[in-house]
Amino acid sequence: MFRHQKQLQFEVKVERPDPMLARQIQEILGGQFGEMTVMMQYLFQGFNCRGEEKYKDMLMDIGTEEIGHVEMLCSLISQLMDGASPAAQAEAAKDPAMAAIMGGINPQHLIVSGLGALPTSSTGVPWSGAYIVASGNLLADMRSNLHAESQGRLQVARLYHMTTDEGVRATLRKMLARDRYHQYQWMAAIAELEEKNGVVVPASFPAEAELEAQPQAYAFWNLSEGVESASGPWAAGNAPDGSGEFVYIDEPLPEGQAPVAKVPAPELHHDLDSSKVLINK
């Protein structure tokens, strides 16, 4: 069960309204790597957790924090929209200079939400449950979390330069700091899990079982012209878990057959010959 406190986790104050920035900020609220994503991802991972209590508790701690980040960004967007009005839009249409601004506004901020935040990205695409994952495998999910925080902090960093409003920037700095910590957090959890089970997900499907396929597990297939890729750490040396040595296959050959599919039943109407299907009426 959850409870809500009136105060925001951090202060959110803007220097001046800026509807075009409001549209851009939507990306880190309702985009692929916005706060709605990490909130729902951590909550679902926590709700579904079948592992040790410390992981479940930790996921609930951070998932709960992220609900508050959604709240903060909604407040930020509302403040950036303050004072905007449909009538100003009509006025602006007469004046190119103002129309410029208007052209950059998300029309749904006026028409649909009445100056409120939307559950959508910066291009107006609705947030989707397909953005998140809760697989039940802790290491796989922690890696998902680390990637989400990495993409998320990157986007906040880019947005930071897109405004000179020091109020907005102060909020973004708080988020950059939290996203730094959250990267640390997932790295620490990942290190612990890799230590325990090994680095390959899932650890419980043994390499031995891939036996006949085993050489595949160390071979780089050079399928794009040029051998620049041969100079990376994935092309030579030991696998991260020391289980084997990488091989660079310079001129790889296919190992499978040229597939030939069977002709289907006539009721599927592929029309591969010109006879008619007998229709029993």
Residue numbers 154-193 binding its own copies by CB under 8 A? 154-155, 157-164, 166, 169-170, 173-174, 176-178, 180-181, 183-185, 187-189, 191-193
> 60: which 2 tokens?
């609930």
Which residues ranging from 103 to 122 are in contact with its own copies (CB under 8 A)? 103-108, 110-122
Selected binder of its own copies within 9, 14, 15, 167 (CB under 8 A) = 9
Nearest to 8 by CA among 111, 104, 78, 94: 78
CA–CA dist 215, 211 (Å, integer): 8
Using CB under 8 A, which residues numbered 30 to 49 contact its own copies? 30-33, 36, 40, 43-44, 46-49
| Contacting its own copies within 215-234 (CB under 8 A) | 216-229, 231-234
Interface residue with its own copies among 22, 80, 143, 167 (CB under 8 A) is 143
As a whole number of Å, the CA-based R_g of the chain is 26
Contact 162, 172 (CB under 8 A): no
SS3 120: strand
Tell me the site size for its own copies, rule CB under 8 A. Answer: 212
Bridge partners of 120, per DSSP, are 126
With binding defined as CB under 8 A, does residue 15 bind its own copies? no
User: Which three-class secondary structure state does DSSP give residue 252?
Assistant: coil
Question: Within 59-78, which residues bind its own copies (CB under 8 A)?
Answer: 60-65, 67-68, 70-72, 74-75, 78
DSSP code, position 199: S
| Smallest gap from residue 7 Cβ to its own copies (A) | 4
Residue 38 Cβ vs its own copies, minimum distance, rounded to whole Å: 13
Of residues 79 through 98, those in contact with its own copies by CB under 8 A are: 79, 82-87, 89-90, 93, 96-98
Residue 230 CA: distances (Å) to CA of 102, 236, 270: 51, 8, 46
Category of 226 on φ-ψ map: left (φ > 0), alpha (ψ -120 to 50) or beta: left
- Give min distance, CB of 3 to its own copies, in A: 5
Distance CA 162, CA 21 (A): 8
Subset of residues 247 to 266 that bind its own copies, contact rule: CB under 8 A? 254-259, 261-266
155, 184, 129, 22: CA torsion to nearest 10: -30
Q: How far is the CB of 52 from its own copies (least distance, A)?
A: 8
